[in-house]
Structure formats: structure tokens, C-alpha cells
Homo-oligomer: A and B are copies of this chain.
Amino acid sequence: MTGKGNAEENIIYVGSKPPMSYVLAIVTQFNSGSSEVFIKARGKAISRAVDAAEITRNRFVTDAKLKDIKIGTEAVTNEEGRTSNVSSIEICLEK
């Protein structure tokens, strides 16, 4: 994640931190010149990803628009080697 103009830099992975951590990451990404930011999450973090996108759009980057929202299913292997399916979301914000 150190390359300049790297396409993967504008992907924010949402996990279990408070939503504002991810809002800050999204805002920073827009301020560094990105015109698109992808917000990705899986499982229970999906609601937090929606929160982060909505807080960003309503309070911090009010000219950002929802470009695209995708949902899907990913196979995840746990420590015991068992595979289970988990839902995922990808929200694309565009400025």
C-alpha cells in the first residue's frame, strides 16, 4: 500500500473498529485526490460499512455520490479448516 496512484489504495476494508475510523480513512482518501473510494466489508461489518458511507456522504464529503453498491457471497475457511459462506458488500463512493 505504498505505491503512488496504486488502484488498491482507494479500497477501505471495514472491520470491527468504530465507524468513525473508517469515515476518517474514506475522507483522507478523497482529500488525497481519489475521485472514487471503494468501501468493502463482510459479515456483521456490512452494517458498519453502510454507516461509514452514509456518515461520509451526509457530514464530511457532501458532494460524494453513491456510484455503485454490490453484494455477494464469499467462501471463508476458518482455523479448523472448515469452509463457510459469508456475505459481502462493496460500496463505491464517487466525488
Contact = CB atoms under 8 A, between A and B. Distances in A.
Interface of A: 43-47, 50-51, 53-54, 58, 66, 69-73, 85, 87-89, 91
A83 to B, nearest CB: 14
Copies in the complex: 2
A47 to B, nearest CB: 4
A54 B72 contact: yes
A46 B88 CA distance: 11
A19 to B, nearest CB: 9
B50 A71 contact: yes
B73 A71 contact: no
22 contacts: A43-B47, A44-B44, A44-B47, A45-B47, A46-B46, A46-B47, A46-B50, A47-B47, A50-B71, A50-B88, A50-B89, A53-B71, A54-B71, A54-B72, A54-B73, A54-B85, A54-B87, A58-B73, A58-B85, A66-B71, A69-B69, A71-B91
